[in-house]
Structure 1
Amino acid sequence: MQTVGFIGLGAMGAPMAENVSDAGYPLVVYNRTRSRTEPFAERGEIVADSVREVAREADVVVVVVTDDEALEAVLEGDDGVLAGLTDGTIVLQMSTVTPAATEAAAEAVRDAGGQYVDAPVSGTVGPAEKGTLTVLAAGPDDLLGDVEGVLGAIGEPIVDCGAVGDGARMKLFVNLLLGDMIGAFAEALAFGTAQGLSYDDMQTVVEAGAVDSPLFSIKGENIAADDFEPRFPIDLQFKDLRYAVEEANDAGVPLPQTAAARETFSAASSMGHGGEDMAAVVKFFEQVAGLSVGDSES
């Protein structure tokens, strides 16, 4: 059985690691905030003092960090992953980063003697806890086969997206759509509220028609309950929209709706809501228009 290393035990990384452990894989874990490793120590898992130690002890190293800069920081340096790699160690990059960042990381890992799979996940904390994330895997077929068991413990389906970099591209595609949808939903709810419409009636109409979506049902309930516990924070959604717009600019593809959504999320973050769930983007409309959507308070 492969020993699996986990670097990053945040809201997503911790339940992913727990599911891999429950599937029978021995773990070695690391997180900058040491307290996040305590539940794993209590389970009898190894807690490493550095990411270099994780890379040295694990057959498969899973990286779940926030952005391009964090990925580079984890890999580089005297105590980085690259310094601890042994020949054949597989780095399984599961963060949301740009295609350029994951391709550069893959090259660096291969130069250090390791192997690399680009496999971000689609989904939030609930699916991460249930092991039902959608895995956007990219890399050589033989390597995908080598980590199939680990990926299967984390999510289903496992979508073979192509070569390294294509997993990152697919993740930006789906999170672009996610950001556009939740931004439009919040905007529509603010419009309806300003028109004097009942929040419950608006939800009923949405859920009964062609625009029905689990996203609108779940986030609608959260907004009504003033529940903005961060399943997927505004700051991370803004980061992903920023990455998507930058990629589109390079490709010469206009993204006017996504650019507008990016600015809405940026404004909500500037208002102090960056650490709240992405549904809290509704607070931007509440604060600017001076209204209260659902049962939430502006």
Structure 2
Amino acid sequence: MLADPESAKEKCYKHWDYDYPNLFGNVSSLCYKFCILQVISQGAISAPMFSVKGPSMVKATYPTAFPLKHQQKDLRLALGLAESVTQPIPVAAAANELYKVAKSYGLSDQDFSAVIEALRAKLQH
């Protein structure tokens, strides 16, 4: 936890010059490592998952609590169910594609949060 959250926000925003697409698009640098996690944890989109998985994602270490391959399977099942009732779920479909890429990188047995590696690779191109 940063000692001065307001200072962290100011540094983060100043660093990114309020360029929100760049802020979220350049996931690999994550604005002074934990800065973005600190900002998110204090905002409206705060969720316990950020504090649980965020630090591991920043460090690119993924101790397995729930394997990525099982998360992708669950997404696949949800997509199948949605298709059976003619209900599009485009965000889940996009997430599923990222999980499939992560599996192709050999991350199947890593924690589901390792999906960020697929996002990092996608954003570098």
Deviations 1:195-225 (A, max 9, x none): 8732321111100001101111111022133
Q: State the AA in 2 paired with 1:213.
A: A
1:286 and 1:237 map into 2 onto residues whose CA distance is 19
Residue 265 of structure 1 corresponds to which residue in structure 2? Answer: 99
Write the distance in 2 (CA, Å) between the matches of 1:225 and 1:197. 13
Give, in angstroms, the shift of residue 249 of structure 1: 0.6
Gaps of 5+ in 2: 1-21
Calculate the TM-score normalised by the size of structure 1. Answer: 0.32
Bigger Rg, structure 1 or 2: 1
1:242 to 76, 96, 99: 76
Partner of residue 216 from structure 1, selected from 42, 50, 67: 50
Aligned-pair distance for 1:251? 1.0
Query: Which of 174, 198, 203 is residue 32 of structure 2 equivalent to?
Result: 198
The TM-score with structure 2 as length reference comes to 0.73
**1:66-116: per-residue Cα shift (whole Å, max 9, x none)?**
xxxxxxxxxxxxxxxxxxxxxxxxxxxxxxxxxxxxxxxxxxxxxxxxxxx
CA shift, 1:275, in A, is 0.8
Residue 196 to residue 231, structure 1, CA distance change in 2 (3 Å)? closer
The 3 A distance-change label for structure 1 pair 287 and 259 is: same
Query: Take 1:233 and 1:253, find their aligned partners in 2: how far apart are those partners?
Result: 27
Report percent identity of matched pairs: 29
Following the alignment from structure 1 to structure 2, what is the Cα–Cα distance between the partners of residues 195 and 230?
A: 23
Secondary structure of 2:120 counterpart: helix
- Tell me, yes or no, if the aligned pair for 1:193 and 1:199 is still in contact at 8 Å: no
1:281 corresponds to which of 77, 93, 115: 115
| RMSD of equivalent CA atoms | 2.4
SS across alignment from 2:51: helix
Q: What does 1:38-187 align with in structure 2 at a 5 Å threshold?
A: none
Residue deviations 1:13-39 (CA, integer Å, cap 9, x gap) = xxxxxxxxxxxxxxxxxxxxxxxxxxx
Aligned equivalent of 2:13? none
- TM-aligned CA distance change 1:268 to 1:189, over 3 Å: farther
Where do 4+ consecutive residues of structure 1 move more than 2 Å? 192-199, 224-227, 285-291
Whether contact under 8 Å (1:190, 1:282) holds in the other structure is no
Greater helix share, structure number: 2
Instruction: Say yes or no: does 1:226 pair with 2:60.
Output: yes
Closer, same or farther: CA 271–194 of 1 in aligned 2, 3 Å: closer
Query: CA distance change for structure 1 residues 226 and 197 in 2, over 3 Å: closer, same or farther?
Result: closer
Q: 1:228 to 1:252 in 2, by over 3 A?
A: same
Name the SS for the 1:218 alignment partner: helix
Matched residues in 1 for 2:44 and 2:120: separation?
A: 26
